[in-house]
Chains A and B, each alone.
Chain A
Amino acid sequence: MIRVALILLLFFAVPRPSFAQDAALGNCPCTLKGLVLNAVTGAPIRNALVESNSGSPSSALTDSDGAFHFDNLPAGSASLSVIKPGFLPSTPFLTPSPSFRVAPDAPPAVVKLVPGGVVRGHIADDQGVPLENFSVQLFRRTPGSSEPTRQSFFTIVTNDLGNFRIPDLPAGSYYLVVAPQEVHAYRRATDEVPTGYPRVFYPGVPDFSSANPIKVSAGRESIANFALAAKPFVRLSGKVSGYPPGSSVDLAFGRDLQTDSAQSINLDRRTGAFQTDWIPPGDYLLVAGAEPDSSSSQSAALMAYLPVTAASSVSGLNVVLLPGVNVPVNIEGLTRNEDLAQFVVQVSLKGATNSIQAAEVLPKESAPNLPAADMYFLSIPQGTYHIDVSSTADDPYYVESARSGSTDLLASDLVVDSSTAAHPVEIVVRHGPATLSGSVNLKDAARGAIVCLFPEKSGAKPLFQTAAANGSFRFDALPPGGYRIAAVDSLSGVDFANTASLKKISSAGSTISLSPSQSSNLTLDLVAVEE
């Protein structure tokens, strides 16, 4: 939802001609001359498209020396944005373009473009035969978390030579996961254990926790090759229990990162015994659900999540259905009732990044058995959850606190068990969030930076952001208060999940205090972190 709002903004951000004219600035019409350069090599970039918010025509292509000019401009200033395939845009998404002075004596405008990095590689089997139609997914790790970001960068498929190329990458650390686009189970007879290719993370490991990142520098190619071996497939089997006799129970399984489709599972609804089809070895999540006993007063659906790591076949799995929990959610501090609709409160089960569920706003009459609340998570399985609050309200809010009973949800996860229903999630929001933006002095444009923001409020989690190619960053919707801020080289390999590393970064950073609705702008130098 945040994303939709951002895209709308893009259209407002499109440069509009400015008719402001200040005769006092000099004798114009003037010509704005400029140069487009490669930020890493300093070489001129030819055939780059330069767009100006002033002048007609408002766009130009650079010549073979990287030079461009806009003629007949009124005195004042013109903002320029430059794009060129293979380079990151001069103006990061949703940020204003830099302006340049337009006057008879104005110096030439110099715009530097950071070239994108490339990850390329080759996938072959253990005999060196190229593997075609393998999907290659590139993603980042959320700093400070052990989980991959849910936003993957690219998915690409190997060609007939087993090769893949992923261009246009900003500098930083990336992870790769490869898997056959279509899972083939090779076998000769129906009674034989089939073999096939499981999902593999770079550099050839089965799980994300042991994956190595691939470091990408601007304008460079990083190579990631894979030699894959077919592995015997596995089966998961066991029993689903905890549902009333005759209830219609369902069981499915998927994978946390790449859930492409439901796979086949054989469930005897009478006994609860189940067995999956032959599947590649790996991590899976079993999900079960059943309708509650209609004769009992208990109305919540029965649910169960069971993560399984299956290097070989696993039997005797116990999937125990428990009543799903209805968690009431209250939002305090809204100045207008209709703003409630602008809030999105979501939970996702820890370790199962695809299990996102949003709280729903229910009219009173449709929820007669539920305690009065602003919204509800309905029938969520018992377990430990991440919780997130976001808002698209025109007059922005920030989250002052979020609690469940005595648990501070800004610092800890939400544990949902049979007692949770009694403790609504209480979220307090306030108008007037602070904004912190600025740019990082990049010593080497090829390497990029990560900005770390540490709230001084005890228990609050640090925030991380990858700076744009030109070093700019922006944190929105911040609660007012004191922060420490520091920028680190994005290729330094610092472990953001390590408390000691974070402490070091934090103490090397600078302090800033933000008051309500304040927009603060900072220039940061990179702090040194040894690994």
Chain B
Amino acid sequence: MLRRVSLFAILALALAACPLSAPAQQQFRIAGTVVDSISGLPIERAEVSIAPVSNLDQAATTLSSSSGQFLFAGLAPGKYRLTASRVGYTDQGLDQHEGFMTAIAVGLKLDSEHIRFRLFRESIIAGNVSDESDEPVRNADLFLFRRGFEGGARATQLAGQATTDDLGDYRFPHLAPGTYFVVAHAKPWYSTGSQAIDKIRVTDAAVLTRTVHDMDGSGDTVSSDSDVPLPDVQPDPPSTPNPIRDVVYPLSFYSNASSLDSSTPLTLTSGTSITADFSFHPIPALRLLVKALAVPGEDVSSGDVNRRHPEVFVSPPVSASIELPGVSVEQLPVRRVPQMPGYFEVAGVAPGDISFRSAGRNEAGYALQSMRQQVTSETPIDLSSSVSVSLSGTVDPVPSPHPGMSNGIDAAQAFLQLTSADGRSGYRAVITPKGEFALASSAGKFTVALEPPAFFHIASIQVTGQTNGAEISGHTLSLPPGASVKLSIRSAQANATVSGVALKNGRPFAGAMLVLVPEDSTQSAALFHRDQSDSDGTFTMSPILPGRYTLLAIENGWDLEWSKLSVLFPYLAAGVPVEVKSGATANATAKVQ
């Protein structure tokens, strides 16, 4: 959607604009040919863009010639990122693997004028979503997942989102070859609390062009892609439930599966088109009573927790949502139940996996609890009952999240995160500026981590005083019911850099996968780092936690499950040991295997 900004606002923005300064020497060129990855034939009118790695905002764009050639002249020395797109092809970075690509190094004695940019013919998944009467479902949300690698292990990751139009049609174009899954989510348009009804109601509102002097000037747009600007009011529950309207569509995993694991994989080779249609059938909506995380002596439902402790802000104090890997599908409506303090009602629930979050406190302190549960009936859910452990302690040095980092809750806040072994529940506590934390949790086995993860890591965890039955192994904590445990956590800051060059047969090698393996490779996957060598064979990785590592360069390593020791083991012997010191840059030369 286009943003409308008043010119007065533009004037204000101009204050922040900085003039472009002309670099002193601009004599280098980037040139090459865009070709079809299979046929090798040149591709004309491809949009090719370059941007300096040091400033990705300063992009320049050109169209390839009839022989597929592109040229950027007058460039300052440095590294540039190349991307290309063309109707009928995937949008790609040069030699792209996951988020990595080969940057082109430009400068004296560097060849940057013979690039072969191979584009894959796009594949498309498209389809139609219809309802129980075979009518189109508008504004259905489609989620595309791709089987790939995450953290060095096979994982199914979110690869795109789409919405159906008024005919119920959706498209996922520009897909690279791979294995995909599609999930659809919609609400019956006529169901209670449906936004579709509000949208239809205000259709005519836009017609009310008032007068010649229509100076409302709000500039509001009744836009097809945004929510209709209506107040956020939880509707009163209907006095008599209406079975026609109190219905939901369960999440639909193509085709007609009930989970991502059981859904049909769509395997796309280069240039294929697959149709994936969905048909929704309504089922009665469930209403769930949820008891908030216990807060002795404090009324959770009053909102006191939020007011006094904005650091664990959740509103309302209980929230429930439908989640898929990496994406929140729908926030379910939550309403207080005045007759039952501490309880909340979640409406419009379809049977399936629901994620709950609750803020609360016991004597130990405030915490944010999250729990994923398979909901099959209207059995009330008690988030408070299992919480019996008091955990407190200190983190030293105090982690201060990097400025500009966003962890989704508060960019200026560091947290201690406990995650259960099955990943279905977790607790999160604030680390105060003095490095203290206190939280209430259930008994069980948890991995402990600092959030946000990029810049601070846990070096060690120790129990201070009585263990009270708690056990620590590495970053894993076992807590018996009713225990009160004090921890002393040593943290370390990732502030170092590893850079160097990948060589094959003594010559710089582009496009190799570099893996920095921590000495104690049983440590968390967050300590592993990867990069792709650029056109001159060089690479830079940061921020790195100081310590001892082994650096590997692998030629065709992008399909390796590198987080598994057994997979990496054959490569370790030919790796390069690297010692990384706090705040320093370690240089290393890696032999490509």
Asked if B5 contacts A160 (CB within 8 A), the reply is no
Asked if B197 contacts A83 (CB within 8 A), the reply is yes
Which of A10, A83, A140, A190 has a CB less than 8 Å from the CB of B26?
A190
Which chain B residues lie closer than 8 Å to A461 at the CB level? 211-213
Which chain A residues lie closer than 8 Å to B422 at the CB level? none
Task: State A352–B207 Cα separation when bound (angstroms).
Answer: 23
Interface residues of A in 398-418 (CB under 8 A from B): none
Task: State A260–B7 Cα separation when bound (angstroms).
Answer: 10
Stretch at the interface among A166-174, A292-300, A325-333, A334-342: A166-174
Interface size class for chain B?
35 or more
- Chain A nearest CB from B49 CB (Å) reads 8
Which of A135, A151, A155 has a CB less than 8 Å from the CB of B209?
A151
Asked if B523 is an interface residue, CB under 8 A from chain A, the answer is no
Asked if A189 contacts B204 (CB within 8 A), the reply is no
Known contacts A388-B214, A465-B209; 12 further A-B pairs (Cβ under 8 A): A83-B201, A140-B209, A150-B214, A151-B206, A155-B225, A168-B200, A188-B73, A259-B10, A267-B19, A354-B6, A357-B8, A465-B210
Asked if B212 contacts A85 (CB within 8 A), the reply is no
- Chain B nearest CB from A429 CB (Å) reads 15
- Chain A nearest CB from B226 CB (Å) reads 9
- Chain B nearest CB from A179 CB (Å) reads 8
Asked if A84 is an interface residue, CB under 8 A from chain B, the answer is yes
Asked if B224 contacts A166 (CB within 8 A), the reply is yes
Give the residue among A254, A288, A463 with the most B Cβ atoms within 10 A: A254
Asked if B214 contacts A149 (CB within 8 A), the reply is yes
Chain A residue at smallest Cβ distance from B122? A160
Q: Can you give 27 contacting A-B residue pairs, CB < 8 Å?
A: A7-B229, A46-B133, A57-B243, A58-B242, A84-B200, A85-B196, A88-B204, A150-B216, A153-B221, A165-B165, A185-B60, A186-B62, A187-B61, A190-B26, A251-B14, A254-B7, A259-B7, A260-B4, A261-B5, A285-B7, A287-B10, A348-B217, A354-B7, A387-B215, A390-B215, A463-B211, A465-B211
Asked if B234 is an interface residue, CB under 8 A from chain A, the answer is no
Known: A187-B60, A285-B7, A386-B215. A160 touches B17 (CB 8 A): no
- Chain B nearest CB from A505 CB (Å) reads 15
Asked if A466 is an interface residue, CB under 8 A from chain B, the answer is yes
Asked if A518 is an interface residue, CB under 8 A from chain B, the answer is no
Asked if B39 is an interface residue, CB under 8 A from chain A, the answer is no
Asked if A315 is an interface residue, CB under 8 A from chain B, the answer is no
Which chain B residues lie closer than 8 Å to A85 at the CB level? 135-136, 138, 166, 189, 196, 200
Task: State A463–B213 Cα separation when bound (angstroms).
Answer: 9
Task: State A118–B167 Cα separation when bound (angstroms).
Answer: 11
8 closest residue pairs by CB, A with B: A388-B215, A160-B173, A167-B166, A252-B14, A189-B73, A57-B242, A93-B205, A262-B13
Which chain A residues lie closer than 8 Å to B216 at the CB level? 1-3, 150-151, 390
A-B contact count (CB 8 A): 261
Interface residues of B in 63-97 (CB under 8 A from A): 63, 70-74, 87
Known: A58-B242, A92-B204, A167-B166. A47 touches B220 (CB 8 A): no
Which chain A residues lie closer than 8 Å to B244 at the CB level? 57, 59-61
Which chain B residues lie closer than 8 Å to A60 at the CB level? 244
Asked if B111 is an interface residue, CB under 8 A from chain A, the answer is no
Asked if A184 is an interface residue, CB under 8 A from chain B, the answer is yes
Interface residues of A in 247-283 (CB under 8 A from B): 250-254, 258-262, 264-267, 277
Chain A residue at smallest Cβ distance from B190? A49
- Chain A nearest CB from B54 CB (Å) reads 17
Contact with B along A27-68 (1 / 0, CB 8 A): 000000000000000000011010000001111110000000
- Chain B nearest CB from A192 CB (Å) reads 9
Which secondary structure dominates chain B's binding surface?
loop
Task: State A185–B220 Cα separation when bound (angstroms).
Answer: 30
Chain B residue at smallest Cβ distance from A2? B216
Asked if A463 contacts B7 (CB within 8 A), the reply is no
Chain A residue at smallest Cβ distance from B235? A14
- Chain B nearest CB from A258 CB (Å) reads 6
- Chain A nearest CB from B330 CB (Å) reads 19
- Chain B nearest CB from A306 CB (Å) reads 11
Known: A186-B62, A188-B72. A168 touches B4 (CB 8 A): no
Known: A165-B166, A356-B215. A468 touches B207 (CB 8 A): yes
Which chain A residues lie closer than 8 Å to B196 at the CB level? 85
Contact with B along A73-99 (1 / 0, CB 8 A): 000000000011111110011100000
Asked if B3 is an interface residue, CB under 8 A from chain A, the answer is yes
Asked if A142 is an interface residue, CB under 8 A from chain B, the answer is yes
Task: State A111–B229 Cα separation when bound (angstroms).
Answer: 28
Chain A residue at smallest Cβ distance from B47? A184
Which chain A residues lie closer than 8 Å to B573 at the CB level? none
Which chain B residues lie closer than 8 Å to A160 at the CB level? 87, 124, 171, 173-174
Task: State A157–B223 Cα separation when bound (angstroms).
Answer: 11
Asked if B25 is an interface residue, CB under 8 A from chain A, the answer is no
Interface size class for chain A?
35 or more
Asked if A464 is an interface residue, CB under 8 A from chain B, the answer is yes
Known: A151-B221, A250-B14, A262-B10. A386 touches B204 (CB 8 A): no
Asked if B203 contacts A258 (CB within 8 A), the reply is no
Which chain A residues lie closer than 8 Å to B204 at the CB level? 88-89, 92-93, 170, 468-469
- Chain A nearest CB from B126 CB (Å) reads 10
Which chain B residues lie closer than 8 Å to A154 at the CB level? 221-224
Asked if B208 is an interface residue, CB under 8 A from chain A, the answer is yes
Give the residue among B60, B87, B215, B222 with the most A Cβ atoms within 10 A: B215
Which chain A residues lie closer than 8 Å to B47 at the CB level? 184, 186
Which of B7, B174, B190, B209 has a CB less than 8 Å from the CB of A252?
B7
Asked if A355 is an interface residue, CB under 8 A from chain B, the answer is yes
Asked if B566 is an interface residue, CB under 8 A from chain A, the answer is no
- Chain A nearest CB from B86 CB (Å) reads 9
Which chain B residues lie closer than 8 Å to A6 at the CB level? 205
Asked if A93 contacts B17 (CB within 8 A), the reply is no
- Chain A nearest CB from B44 CB (Å) reads 10
Interface residues of A in 454-478 (CB under 8 A from B): 461-469
Contact with A along B145-189 (1 / 0, CB 8 A): 000000000000000000001110001011000000000000001
Which chain B residues lie closer than 8 Å to A130 at the CB level? 87
Chain B residue at smallest Cβ distance from A474? B208
Asked if B221 contacts A254 (CB within 8 A), the reply is no
Known: A151-B220, A165-B165, A189-B73. A265 touches B5 (CB 8 A): no
Asked if A159 is an interface residue, CB under 8 A from chain B, the answer is yes
Known: A159-B171, A184-B47. A135 touches B207 (CB 8 A): no
Task: State A394–B190 Cα separation when bound (angstroms).
Answer: 35
Asked if A525 is an interface residue, CB under 8 A from chain B, the answer is no
Asked if B245 is an interface residue, CB under 8 A from chain A, the answer is yes
Which chain A residues lie closer than 8 Å to B201 at the CB level? 10, 83, 89, 93
Which chain B residues lie closer than 8 Å to A118 at the CB level? 166
Known: A88-B203, A89-B201. A7 touches B231 (CB 8 A): yes
Task: State A208–B513 Cα separation when bound (angstroms).
Answer: 54
Task: State A127–B35 Cα separation when bound (angstroms).
Answer: 20
Which of B61, B200, B206 has a CB less than 8 Å from the CB of A153?
B206
Asked if A309 is an interface residue, CB under 8 A from chain B, the answer is no
Give the residue among A187, A188, A469 with the most B Cβ atoms within 10 A: A188
Asked if A116 is an interface residue, CB under 8 A from chain B, the answer is yes
Asked if A289 is an interface residue, CB under 8 A from chain B, the answer is yes
Asked if A184 contacts B15 (CB within 8 A), the reply is no
Task: State A135–B225 Cα separation when bound (angstroms).
Answer: 12
Task: State A288–B138 Cα separation when bound (angstroms).
Answer: 45
Interface residues of B in 540-583 (CB under 8 A from A): none
Give the residue among B4, B45, B47, B72 with the most A Cβ atoms within 10 A: B4
Asked if B339 is an interface residue, CB under 8 A from chain A, the answer is no
Chain A residue at smallest Cβ distance from B1? A155
Which chain B residues lie closer than 8 Å to A352 at the CB level? 7
Chain B residue at smallest Cβ distance from A256? B7
Asked if B222 contacts A153 (CB within 8 A), the reply is yes
Task: State A405–B394 Cα separation when bound (angstroms).
Answer: 73
Which chain A residues lie closer than 8 Å to B138 at the CB level? 85
Asked if A152 is an interface residue, CB under 8 A from chain B, the answer is yes
